[in-house]
Chain A
């Protein structure tokens, strides 16, 4: 299939659609989402989304489409249907290799699953985080473990054969045994893909504020390490391919959309605060919902900030992103794609990292090994450092 070939080298363009509503704001989450009353705000969002998509998507065939949030599944059935009509009027969703949608347990029903499927979605990602009631409470999640399982079943009932689960580890106070049981429960459900994210304290979140006041804090790094390592070992045994730092694929294969990000591919993001990338230009949409909608409905650009990467910076970014993929990053391919000579600038650093046994390098493919995997930000950060003052 043409799309699969596109995937291999990050060419082509993906589409991200941001639905900025949530039932509650989770304590750890700094994503652009709003708790608003259902009704007019949702309709206005959809109107604005229609306007922005018409402006920004020009009928090409996307590599992948991702309905993310916020919480797309929170839209009422008729509005959800309208969402797919809006995007479907510019993109032939049925013809697209991967169309993902994020679904939250508290709002995802069999009815909505059917609407999604009919609308062209072929992959569902269920935000589960943990199956432990006290941790769900700590994270301010609006559902329980059974709700997550019901959501998974709903996806299956509507015929989805590619269902992913998002889990989080490193919740303050969480034990290795608890994390191990979370993994088992996800495996028992027969998930086709797992994202296992190490909880991060993001600026501006309730969790970060509590941390500042000494009410909570990250677990010891040794516990996080043990969880990280256990995850790779256990999921490996279960036949999952650890294709990226936090992502594991079984039957459904890798999430192409996310893979496209790590490959420095081009994408268009629509919705408030959504990000886009085009050949080294990265732009971010206006973040506040109302301001974004005002701009979109007035037929104006919805972009609020843009940066153009310098050539070396773009190369460094490609290394930093690409190295997260288990296959590694192809330095020769980046040189060719960007028309740059990279060896002189990066090889002394790569040689040092090789000596420290953080990476493996065969003069073309560069990948993380051993401790490097757990220190990926240092390895990748060093590449960015090379280009900081060029």
Chain B
């Protein structure tokens, strides 16, 4: 057991890519937790998909021992967090397990939207926040400037900021000393009643569920009978230990410490992240901690197996992926065009992409994905309120009293020269302006209310391109509001394709209908007959395109007898054809079902 006064628990928080995971690397190195030769870039990002994309998706805890300048050995528990807005929930959980946070800001980029949001989350959790300016090795780093922005945006005194380079290691040792000095030691009594916060849980093939916890009061050790207060389930502790970063068993975990517990739990369905763990013995039983509520999926799309007979395998794969990520949901649905599949809910578009890739990589599933849609609410004439996750779930028009759509509060941080551009795209997207905050002289945060459906499509890309890459954004769903929505149906050769229909605001319906038809025109190959594409609201057609018949398809030659190449190409096309979906006699390639996502003309 480590004296609580010799423990420091902290998270690293920042905007995407400002260097959190890289700073974690340096701290692991400086404390000798990981040997230099075993080191690799962003060591804590150990999921395949994290390494491939170079981003953090799940928060990671790691314990280190640090011999400080005062000669004492401290236990430092670090939690690296993701920066992307979709994974904000991970930050929230991490902060609950800490007394302090390092707020990292890229000294060449400055304060960004997620910097502000994450700093506020840390403040709300009443943590000590240490500003750290990173990437000082870059020639265009402007630390004084950025420190001023931090002071304006987050009210942290500029002179407190530590300027480092996580890449070269410059001044990273100062960060360790600041942690000891500025972050309070955990309070809590190792001899008290057990109260431990489960801030995460992962599934391990060999050990089943591994619970990550922060002990607030009391002590937990192997052999203890524990009780999960939220789910009211009892378990026997098989092992406790610390993440260094591999699991290293310890005799016990006491108040103030962060570590893991293995308790013979078979599936993650049996645990609730945020739950409080205590002793089953009533004499040692503690109170429930506040915990946190599971985030609700905001974006939905359909996943269908490429080959219809794979439906059961897709279900198994979804269940497996969910083991490590309970924030996405799925339920069976059927489509005339695509057959049997699942309606899946995600925290955001990146989350959707990540799950889709995990299904492909980890589970080797081939899937067709339909265009994402937000969650709508519908007030029926009967007064009842229902939720729809898919345009095909809509009740008959005459039962609908009112459509409600989710509205977000969007914060956008840009250099002030781009204010005009940002105003323009936000109003074009039915946004209303709320606020302006200046950080320093030339950086500004603009607040808007915008319907969520308007930002899940290409909003972020458009923001980036209109602000030459400088604009960053953050959003939070604030509630639902009545809206004039219509369902746009898409017809191919006169037949409705349910998987392509979508809900949209009436004012946008024609334009979106036209764009989708244009995109479909590109993606549906020519047939031996002309293919008509139509968009309609109810019985009224709002847009039309056609794909003229294929009138010529003949290879001119096979150079120098290179028969194989041409044959393989045709064979590949044939295989692709087998994967197309038939609507009447029209073959629709699977990626056409995502047409709604692509916006370029």
Contacts and interface: CB of A to CB of B under 8 A. Distances in A.
Q: Do A and B assemble together?
A: yes
B563 A321 contact: yes
Nearest to A380: B570
B552 A197 contact: no
A381 B573 contact: yes
Interface stretch (A54-62, A133-141, A267-275): A267-275
Interface string B524-567: 00001000000000000000000000111111111111111001
Contact of A385 (B553, B556, B577): B577
Interface stretch (A45-53, A78-86, A218-226, A289-297): A218-226
Given A275-B563, A320-B567, A384-B567, A200 B556 contact: yes
Q: Please report whether the interface of chain A is mostly helix, strand, loop or mixed according to DSSP.
A: mixed
Nearest to A196: B556
B142 to A, nearest CB: 36
Interface residues of A, number: 45
Given A377-B555, A381-B574, A275 B562 contact: yes
B564 A200 contact: no
Given A267-B561, A376-B555, A384 B550 contact: no
B298 to A, nearest CB: 35
B199 to A, nearest CB: 48
Interface in B480-525: none
Q: Which of A221, A246, A277, A356 has the most chain B CB atoms inside 10 A of its CB?
A: A221
A302 to B, nearest CB: 15
Nearest to A382: B574
A384 B574 contact: yes
B295 to A, nearest CB: 40
Contacts of A275: 560-564
A359 interface: no
Given A320-B570, A385-B574, A225 B552 contact: yes
A228 interface: yes
Contact of A381 (B551, B557, B561, B570): B570
A377 B563 contact: no
B550 to A, nearest CB: 7
Contacts of B458: none
Given A18-B560, A317-B567, A388 B553 contact: no
Interface string A254-278: 0000000100000101000111110
A284 interface: yes
B564 A284 contact: yes
B554 A245 contact: yes
A106 B510 CA distance: 57
Contacts of B574: 381-382, 384-385, 388
B564 A197 contact: no
B571 interface: yes
B554 A377 contact: yes
Contacts of B559: 30-31
Interface in B562-601: 562-564, 567, 570-571, 573-575, 577-578
A6 interface: no
- Sorting the interface of chain B by its residue count into under 10, 10 to 19, 20 to 34 or 35 or more gives 20 to 34
B575 A277 contact: no
B551 A225 contact: yes
Contacts of A68: 560
B424 to A, nearest CB: 26
B561 A246 contact: no
B561 A261 contact: yes
Contacts of A377: 553-555, 570
A380 B555 CA distance: 10
A382 B577 CA distance: 11
A205 interface: no
A327 interface: no
Contact of B553 (A246, A269, A376): A376
Contacts of A321: 563
Contacts of A380: 570
Given A277-B561, A282-B563, A374 B552 contact: yes
Contacts of B554: 198, 245, 373-377
A240 interface: no
A180 interface: no
A382 to B, nearest CB: 8
A7 B208 CA distance: 69
Nearest to B551: A221
A282 B564 contact: yes
Contacts of A382: 574
Interface of A: 16, 18, 30-31, 68, 195, 197-200, 221-222, 224-225, 228, 245-246, 261, 267, 269, 273-277, 282, 284, 307, 317, 320-321, 356, 373-378, 380-382, 384-385, 388-389
Given A221-B552, A381-B570, 10 more contacts: A195-B557, A200-B556, A221-B551, A246-B557, A282-B564, A307-B564, A317-B563, A377-B570, A378-B550, A384-B571
Interface of B: 528, 550-564, 567, 570-571, 573-575, 577-578
Give me the 8 closest cross-chain CB pairs, A-B, nearest first.
Answer: A385-B574, A197-B556, A376-B554, A381-B570, A377-B553, A198-B556, A282-B564, A275-B561
7 contacts: A68-B560, A198-B554, A275-B560, A375-B552, A376-B555, A377-B570, A381-B570
